[in-house]
Structure 1
Amino acid sequence: MSGDWSADTWAVIAGRPAHQTGAPVSPPIELTSTYLSSGPLGATDIGVYGRSNNATWRALEDAIGVLEHGTALCFASGMAAGAALFDLIEPGGRLVMADSAYNTMLALARQLAAAGRISLSTVDIADTDAVLAALPGADWLILESPTNPLLQVADLVTLAEGAAASGVRIGVDNTFATPLLQNPLDLGASVVLHSATKYLSGHSDVVAGALVTRDEELLNRLQSYRTMQGSILGPMEAWLVLRGLRTLSVRLERQQATAGVLAERLNAHPAIDRVRYPGLVDDPGHDLARRQMRGFGAMLALEPVGGIDAAERLVHGVQLWVPATSLGGVESLLERRRRIASEPETVPDSLVRLSVGLEDVEDLWADLDQALAQV
């Protein structure tokens, strides 16, 4: 196949069976735990047992790998992928991580540090100088960009250069940006993480994760971890993610356009104290995101005037928006993040995260506007 096709096209065609008469257009779901085998096992054996391989996994991994410009491995969840990424840190190694990272990843890192498995340093990921100062003596830097839920933008190129100079590897959670807006491996990352539950699947009906790398040694270690730990993705789930991936381009285009309109209107609303969205020209991450990304994404966050009470009234005052955790689906979701006990204290109490879906932009705005009127 042509390597010149766009990522939008690859999202549709990658991982499909070869063009042969009678072949299915879409990859089938391979439901089996056991494979027929004969003779000695070798490194090239595809099917032996369902914990080590599956044709539906391979189709999904091919597709994600093409989009992220590396080799992908799928996992049972985004956190299963995150746990595998943490396992790459050698015992006693030092991890540098954002102090406002996704709460469960940060909680797991702190758990590993408390157990003496690793040492942990947390930094403001938007403060490039502070991150660079923390790198000497570290083994890994693991970050998100944009971050969840503060929508901070990390200077990936500068951090990758500094990490390389200090012998530090970088893992980047690319869930918010998706491979269509950003490719961290091209910017110097060693591993890319996705919660495929979110934009890649896009329909709020599956839990899945993925890691992508170009480093064969890291790939082998991750594959061994997945097999030994049993953190495998079911074939039905893999098929659902792959089906969702086919519409990623059109979904994200619509969601991003709507998010931009809503961010501008919210930014001008008297009931809103602050809007966080890299697409706003006054956002601290705007210039960097414009250079580093191919779009600003469909996630935003706001802080209403009036603090926690106002945030709660907003969340419970909407009718079309859905008060719920998660993101990246076709429906628009919002939630006050600090209602979650493990959310980092760096996240403001009143911050409301919004995941923009595919509903009509005017309907979404009217719903927010009437809820804000109650605030």
Structure 2
Amino acid sequence: MEKHPSGIKPETWLVSAGRPTEPGAPLNVPPILASNFIIGGGREYARGSGTPTWEALEAIVGGLEGGKAVAFASGLAAVAAVFDQLPVGAVVVIPEDCYQGVASLSARGAERGRWSVQRVAVDDTRGWIHASAAADLIWLESPSNPLLVVADLEAILAAARKPGAIVAVDNTFATPLNQQPLDLGATVSVQSATKFIGGHSDLLAGVVTTRDDGLWHALRKSRELTGATPGTFEAFLAVRGARTLALRLQRAQQTAMILAERLEGHPLVARVRYPGLPSHPTHGIARRVLKGFGTMISFDLLGGAEFADAVCRKVRLIRHATSLGAVESTMERRAAVPGQEHLPPSLLRLSVGIEDPDDLWADLDSAIRSGAL
């Protein structure tokens, strides 16, 4: 693995890591479109040995997270590889508010007798500390999706836990620029590179990073045996996208704060969920554990599902689409997603992009006001 040079800031690492260094080599790692390699050089078949393109992505994210990374075909493939490490009969603890893929995967495993599942509120720090003593997998997500609750990772990750337990943090919303789970004591940090790492809504990829060498090898073996390998061109695009992560995140976070403050004062908005607002229930924790408040805003409209759906149809600059973390702003009503029906019916999740904040506000305000008619 490419080491993180002492004194190099993350913004510089994003640009410099994962590049060839040999004289005459290309400046960027190209997409290596090969499934097999000539025997004798240590690399024989891509599914088991990887490719230089995958390794460039792993070098960037691994160094950024402060560990060794394994790239996967998608964020959910990365999640599944972590769950794949569990013995039959394991105890799994996940947040009440979390990515629907994690909820579905854990529930399916429980139905088949693979493990038992407990759910704990993201902000129930005592509940997490208590559950950690007997859990085989503690799965944390902070900020959570889509309610944007921030967990007290410092306290939870410092708690005593069962020997051999895996403590995983889904770091997708925060990104490694805003949060360093491995430094706080997590076993693994998980990124859906589909989101902020790629940043352009044009790829599927996931990355798991750990400092446990044995677990790193086990994750690579899971990738090999399940065939959850990243596409070469997807890895190439993720590397290209990662180069601008710091700039994109800085701009989008600034805009998200502006929009959150304006939404909080809107007469047709009932509640704004953004960790950067002093009114947010876990704002104090967010100030302590996060370097930035992120680009995601969830807000509840003063109306029902039909009103929220109308707003989604009426936006023009903001795209009515799922997913997040890209250069373009997207928005959706999360309770319309299968498995998310328990959420407030008028809750909209907004992923803020890098557009001009005034243009985004004009679009959003107009859609809200016309949607109410």
Question: TM-score when scaled to structure 1?
Answer: 0.95
2:27 maps to which of 22, 25, 28: 25
1:317: Cα distance to partner?
Answer: 1.7
Q: How far apart are the structure 2 equivalents of 1:348 and 1:100?
A: 12
Question: Contact between 1:153 and 1:288, CA under 8 Å: does it hold in 2?
Answer: yes
1:165: Cα distance to partner?
Answer: 7.0
Q: How far apart are the structure 2 equivalents of 1:34 and 1:10?
A: 30
Unaligned runs of at least 5 residues, structure 1: 39-44
Corresponding position of 1:352: 348
Question: Contact between 1:100 and 1:344, CA under 8 Å: does it hold in 2?
Answer: no
Q: How far apart are the structure 2 equivalents of 1:103 and 1:183?
A: 23
Question: Contact between 1:110 and 1:120, CA under 8 Å: does it hold in 2?
Answer: yes
Q: How far apart are the structure 1 equivalents of 2:176 and 2:245?
A: 10
SS at 1:51 equivalent:
helix
1:329: Cα distance to partner?
Answer: 0.6
Tell me: CA distance 1:10–1:72, structure 2 relative to 1, closer, same or farther (3 Å).
same
Corresponding position of 1:256: 253
Q: How far apart are the structure 2 equivalents of 1:23 and 1:83?
A: 36
2:357 maps to which of 342, 356, 361: 361
1:306: Cα distance to partner?
Answer: 1.0
SS at 2:220 equivalent:
helix
2:316 maps to which of 306, 319, 342: 319
Q: How far apart are the structure 1 equivalents of 2:344 and 2:86?
A: 31
Quick check: 1:4 aligned with 2:7? yes
Corresponding position of 2:101: 104
* 1:235-246 mapped onto 2 (5 Å cutoff): 235-246=232-243
1:133: Cα distance to partner?
Answer: 2.5
Encode CA deviations 1:126-161: one digit per residue, 9 max, x unaligned.
111122232332111102100111101011111112
Q: How far apart are the structure 2 equivalents of 1:371 and 1:118?
A: 45
SS at 1:108 equivalent:
helix
Corresponding position of 2:114: 117
Question: TM-score when scaled to structure 2?
Answer: 0.96
* Equivalent residue letter for 1:50: A
Corresponding position of 1:42: none
* 1:222-233 mapped onto 2 (5 Å cutoff): 222-233=219-230
- Alpha-carbon RMSD across the aligned residues, in angstroms, is 1.4
SS at 2:159 equivalent:
helix
Encode CA deviations 1:175-207: one digit per residue, 9 max, x unaligned.
001111111000110001110000000000000
Question: Contact between 2:135 and 2:162, CA under 8 Å: does it hold in 1?
Answer: no
Q: How far apart are the structure 2 equivalents of 1:114 and 1:194?
A: 26
Q: How far apart are the structure 1 equivalents of 2:175 and 2:208?
A: 13
Q: How far apart are the structure 1 equivalents of 2:183 and 2:341?
A: 30
* Equivalent residue letter for 2:15: V
SS at 2:158 equivalent:
helix
Q: How far apart are the structure 2 equivalents of 1:91 and 1:143?
A: 21
SS at 1:162 equivalent:
coil
Q: How far apart are the structure 1 equivalents of 2:133 and 2:167?
A: 13
Corresponding position of 1:41: none
* Equivalent residue letter for 1:6: K
Encode CA deviations 1:13-66: one digit per residue, 9 max, x unaligned.
110111x4322111111111111114xxxxxx6411011111111111011111
2:211 maps to which of 214, 217, 240: 214
Q: How far apart are the structure 2 equivalents of 1:343 and 1:166?
A: 34
* Equivalent residue letter for 1:36: I
1:282: Cα distance to partner?
Answer: 1.2
Unaligned runs of at least 5 residues, structure 2: none
Question: Contact between 1:321 and 1:332, CA under 8 Å: does it hold in 2?
Answer: yes
Q: How far apart are the structure 2 equivalents of 1:167 and 1:54?
A: 31
* Equivalent residue letter for 1:267: E
Question: Contact between 1:104 and 1:342, CA under 8 Å: does it hold in 2?
Answer: no
* 1:174-323 mapped onto 2 (5 Å cutoff): 174-323=171-320
SS at 1:203 equivalent:
coil
1:34 maps to which of 14, 17, 36: 36
* Equivalent residue letter for 2:282: G
* Equivalent residue letter for 1:126: D
1:217: Cα distance to partner?
Answer: 1.4
Encode CA deviations 1:231-258: one digit per residue, 9 max, x unaligned.
0001111110000000001001100000
Q: How far apart are the structure 1 equivalents of 2:148 and 2:336?
A: 18
Q: How far apart are the structure 2 equivalents of 1:274 and 1:195?
A: 28
1:169: Cα distance to partner?
Answer: 2.7
Q: How far apart are the structure 2 equivalents of 1:363 and 1:123?
A: 39
1:91: Cα distance to partner?
Answer: 1.1
Q: Segments of 4+ in structure 1 off by > 4 A?
A: none
Q: How far apart are the structure 1 equivalents of 2:141 and 2:150?
A: 8
* 1:53-68 mapped onto 2 (5 Å cutoff): 53-68=50-65
1:215: Cα distance to partner?
Answer: 0.4
Tell me: CA distance 1:152–1:97, structure 2 relative to 1, closer, same or farther (3 Å).
same
